[in-house]
């Protein structure tokens, strides 16, 4: 998806802003269709020709490609260990996915970067694919992954991407709208299950969600900050939970536990009922 997006972006750039915006629509639709349509027909072929067992196995493999769990877990634990030892250079190696200048960050700011990324990725790489799988099957999860990949590559407001990426960014905001708010609620529930601070999670989510540029991720980050009772900060951009304490290595590990409980709750409370309801209807 990333390679195709890069190739098409280079060819669809245009000096005329209106034309480039239109090309941004073509870019998004093309990338989504190239991966979603074949997925649908491949799975249909497998089901009809090879049977339901092969369909389940291949479908599960494709679905797994739309999510990422282990890599983030490994990197987060490694970052926590490095922060605990005071090896900030090592910690920065595992926090680079947070898209910020790591050069002068303190240990608590690195911990904040890891926790913020974990909160963002809760929808982007886990719950949103599951949500769209529930309604539209494996092709739905693939379509979401395509949209999210497009947003991660061209959905920026800098001069280079403001036109070509506007449609991708808008699509990503739309498809993450409901999952982000469901996930925020589940972070509050998970914090209660783990005996963190559900009241602070709820309060901080409503108070600070608009402090980040993202209409969706701000809810998740603010809820996580409140649940852990820590201040999350991107220096020079925003501070969430400014009346709370500084995050440290232990808070990264606590955030991982909250993330895992949220995933279980999402499956039990959201995914299973949706699948059962759709099965009854259709």
Q: Where are the domains of the chain?
A: 2-281
- Distance CA(201)–CA(230), nearest Å, equals 10
pLDDT of residue 224: 97
pLDDT tens readout for residues 207-225: 999 999 899 999 999 999 9
177-196 pLDDT per residue, tens: 999 999 999 999 999 999 99
The answer on pLDDT for 110 being more than 90 is yes
Model confidence pLDDT, tens digit, residues 194-207? 999 999 999 999 99
Helix residue ranges, H only, 86-165? 88-93, 107-122, 128-154
Q: Inform me whether the pLDDT recorded for 174 exceeds 80.
A: yes
The b-or-e profile of 142-167 (16+ CB within 10 A means b, else e) is: bbbbbbbbbbbbbbbeeeebbbbbbb
Rounded Cα gap, residues 230 and 93, in angstroms: 22
Contact 232, 247 (CB under 8 A): yes
d(CA 276, CA 40): 21
Look at residue 242 in the predicted model and tell me its pLDDT.
Answer: 84
Q: What is the DSSP letter of 106?
A: -
Helix (H/G/I), strand (E/B), else coil: 20: helix
Q: Are 220 and 231 in contact, with CB atoms under 8 Å apart? A: no
Residues 55-91 as b or e (16 or more Cβ within 10 Å = b) = beebbeebbeebbeeeebeebbbbbbbbbbeeebeeb
Task: Give the orientation angle of helix 166-193 with respect to helix 128-154, to 10 degrees.
Answer: 140
| pLDDT of 100 higher than 80 | no
pTM for the structure as a whole: 0.93
Q: What is the pLDDT of residue 29?
A: 98
């Amino acid at each position: 998806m990333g390679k195709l997006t890069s190739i098409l972006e280079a060819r669809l750039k245009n000096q005329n802003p209106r034309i480039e915006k239109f090309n941004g629509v073509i870019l998004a639709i093309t990338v989504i269709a190239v991966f979603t349509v074949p997925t649908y027909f491949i799975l249909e072929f497998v089901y009809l020709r090879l049977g339901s067992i092969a369909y389940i196995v291949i479908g599960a493999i494709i679905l797994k490609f739309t999510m990422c769990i282990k890599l983030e877990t490994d990197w987060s634990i490694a970052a926590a260990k490095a922060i605990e030892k005071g090896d900030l250079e090592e910690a920065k190696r595992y926090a680079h996915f947070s898209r910020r200048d790591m050069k002068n960050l303190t240990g608590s700011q690195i911990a904040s970067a890891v926790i913020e990324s974990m909160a963002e990725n809760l929808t982007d790489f886990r719950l949103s694919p599951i949500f769209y799988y529930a309604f539209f099957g494996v092709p739905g999860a693939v379509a979401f992954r395509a949209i999210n990949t497009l947003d991660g590559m061209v959905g920026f407001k800098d001069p280079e991407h403001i036109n070509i990426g506007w449609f991708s960014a808008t699509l990503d905001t739309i498809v993450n709208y409901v999952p982000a708010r469901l996930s925020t609620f589940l972070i509050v529930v998970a914090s209660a299950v783990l005996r963190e601070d559900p009241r602070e999670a709820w309060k901080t989510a409503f108070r600070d969600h608009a402090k980040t540029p993202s209409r969706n991720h701000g809810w998740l980050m603010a809820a996580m900050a409140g649940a852990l009772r820590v201040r999350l900060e991107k220096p020079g951009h925003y501070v969430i939970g400014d009346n709370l304490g500084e995050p440290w290595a232990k808070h990264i590990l606590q955030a991982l536990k909250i993330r895992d409980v949220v995933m279980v709750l999402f499956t039990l409370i959201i995914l299973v009922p949706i699948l059962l309801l759709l099965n009854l209807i259709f």
